[in-house]
Amino acid sequence: MKDRRGRYLLQPEMYSTEQYRALMQTLRPVYALSAGLTTNAIAKAVKEALSTCEIREKIPAGVLRTTGLMKLKEALAEAHFPQNEETTREAVRRLAFDEFFFFLLSVRSLREMTEQEPNAHIIGAGAYEGRLLESLPYALTGAQRRAWAEISADLAGTRPMQRLLQGDVGSGKTVIAELTLAATAEAGYQACLMVPTEVLARQHYNELTTRLGALGISVGMLTGSMGSAEKRKMRESVKSGETRVLVGTHALFQQGVEFAGLGTIVVDEQHRFGVEQRRALTDKGAAPHVLLMSATPIPRTLAMMLYADLDISILDEMPKNRQRIKSCVVDAAYRPRAYKFIADRIAAGEQAYVICPLIEAGDGLDAENVTDYAEMLSGELPSGVRIAVLHGRMSASDKTEIMQAFGDHKIDILVSTTVIEVGIDVANATVIMIEDAERFGLAQLHQLRGRVGRGEKQSYCILVQGNDSTDARERLSVLLEATDGYAIAEKDLSMRGPGDFFGIRQSGEDVFRIADPIRDAEVLAMAKHAVANLSPAEYAAAVKVCLAEHGDSVVY
């Protein structure tokens, strides 16, 4: 069939009125389709697989009896061919339970394996700690001192450290990492710091070269964009032990990187890395200490459950030299005043960010994009204002070059997507203007707001609401009062429902495919209880199934 506009309707299926009404009452799954693949084709293949394949129960029989969950084969059938909403919910509960169960089983297994390892790298108190603290222009907060005491005890303890350091944006995690790296180097071991982006790697490298270099510690950097000769030279320096602290991205765990004696691994923004990536790095040493750091706001009760294989330290206190960021929620009519305000700050020698949801027009949403916005902004501001664009489709070297130029104050305004969300630290940037702010989660907006206020100058956050929704304004107004990332995250979840809980889907790594720790909190608690109360025989059998399903890896 072809209409006047040249459009085709391929393989049409005709229904009577009665058949169509019945079809409209039927629940049908939505599949992610690729070219040439139809929903009906997938449904047909799934139906055949369910009828011909043997589907074995993976959960111990005793657990199924006590929980009363739907059988696995029945749950899979209901997920693809649901009878009604109630049976669909029960199927999702069962499938979510399986994900939680094997996740927590892996966590328990990791914990037990770690506790059996002796501490091969005893790191006690040394002189570098005092010298490093004396060089700081501020005193540690009480939370930082408490966290460092916990880490110090781990480093000198009977088993390797496995600790998560959680802290809100600007709470001072980097200083704790520096103390950890310095203590490791002073004890005669090597340490490495792995970060998700080259921009962040160079930022850490520059700071560590200054701070740790003053203590006589050699610091190196290894990233994917470095030339072959430069990489080879750095790998040789690490293998010989000359480089005591190595900073880098995913390049750290690549083949060919060998350490003379890796004692400690620090992973910044740990949720950006998969467990296999972290494990590939730990395999480069003999049971090294591991410190994971995250600014992603996770409610404490869930953190204790999801990171049960880790000890947790929390930085819940902000440095005293940080001023509260002044925030406002405005509509598009406020833009001229905002541009004048930004121009005044730039005239005073400061810098600014402007955040847009899209890279360019036509990305599928009716929202501001960095490409057109930067061009428009150049016409709104004085001719001498230097404006640059940054987004995720740019090459790593281009992103690094632009961020370096912004850090060196060769750029006044950076028009960017959320690529700047993690770890960018430019103390002279005092204004961030976020367009179409209602399109972002509150926790993400809080992370973006944290890109300013990094120094002692008063900083500002302008949230531009792109629509006139009362609900959106109410939600954005939470940021005007709340400054605690954990409180903001919990409020966002209560207002918007479950979403991108860990902030991981942006980086392409899902924690769970079906389960959601917020929506399915009751199922998560049930799975935790089941794993904790497995008999020795059930535990051994379940671990065997887990290894067969997932290999020697954890599900997160």
| pLDDT 10s digits, 56-114 | 888 999 999 999 999 999 999 988 888 888 888 899 999 999 988 988 888 788 777 76
127-315 adopts what CATH topology? Rossmann fold (3.40.50)
What's the pTM? 0.70
Other beta carbons within 10 angstroms of residue 57's beta carbon come to 13
Domain ranges of the chain: 127-315, 326-482
Q: Average pLDDT for residues 303-315, to the nearest whole number? A: 74
| Distance in angstroms (rounded) separating the CA atoms of residues 479 and 191 | 38
326-482: CATH number: 3.40.50.300
Tokens at residue 333, please? 């009519």
Residue 268 DSSP class: S
pLDDT number for residue 510: 46
| Mean pLDDT for the stretch of residues 493-522 | 55
pLDDT at residue 506 tops 50: no
- Residue 503 pLDDT: 34
- Tell me if 507 sits within 8 A of 516, measured CB to CB: no
Report the C-alpha gap between 352 and 432 in whole angstroms. Answer: 6
pLDDT of residue 554: 41
Q: Is the pLDDT of residue 176 over 70?
A: yes
Dihedral of CA atoms 485, 486, 488, 493 in degrees, nearest 10, equals: 140
Q: What percent of the chain has pLDDT over 70?
A: 84
Distance, CA of 305 to CA of 269 (rounded, Å): 19
The mean per-residue pLDDT over the stretch 256-271 comes to 87
Q: In CATH terms, are 127-315 and 326-482 the same topology?
A: yes
Rounded CA separation 520/512 (Å) = 11
> Which pair of structure tokens corresponds to residue 10?
């391929």
How far apart, in whole angstroms, are the C-alpha atoms of residue 543 and residue 547? 6
> 414 by DSSP, 3-state: which?
strand
Q: Is 272 helix (H, G, I), strand (E, B) or coil?
A: helix
* Predicted pLDDT at 260: 94
Task: Report pLDDT for 136.
Answer: 87
The whole-angstrom separation of Cα 240 and Cα 258 is 9
Mean pLDDT calculated for residue range 380-404? 88
**Most confident stretch, 215-229, 349-363, 507-521:** 215-229
- What average pLDDT is seen over the chain? 83
- Choose from 51-55, 71-75, 428-432 the range with maximum mean pLDDT: 428-432
Q: What is the pLDDT at residue 4? A: 60
User: What six digits make up the tokens of 191?
Assistant: 């340490």
> What's the confidence (pLDDT) of residue 373?
92
186-195: b or e for each residue (b if 16 or more CB lie within 10 Å)? bbebbbbbbb
**Residue 166 three-state SS:** strand
Cα dist from 450 to 157, 355, 417, whole Å: 35, 13, 15
Contacts (Cβ under 8 Å, ≥6 apart) of 24: none
Q: Give the pLDDT mean for 335-346.
A: 95
Overall average pLDDT of the 239-251 stretch: 93
Kindly indicate the confidence band of residue 344, based on its pLDDT and cuts at 50, 70 and 90: very high
pLDDT at 528 over 60: yes
In this prediction, residue 53 carries a pLDDT of 86
In angstroms, rounded to a whole number, what is the distance separating the alpha carbons of residues 102 and 547?
10
State yes or no: pLDDT of 421 exceeds 70: no
Q: What is the mean pLDDT of residues 399-413?
A: 90
Q: Regarding predicted confidence, which is higher, 162 or 413?
A: 413
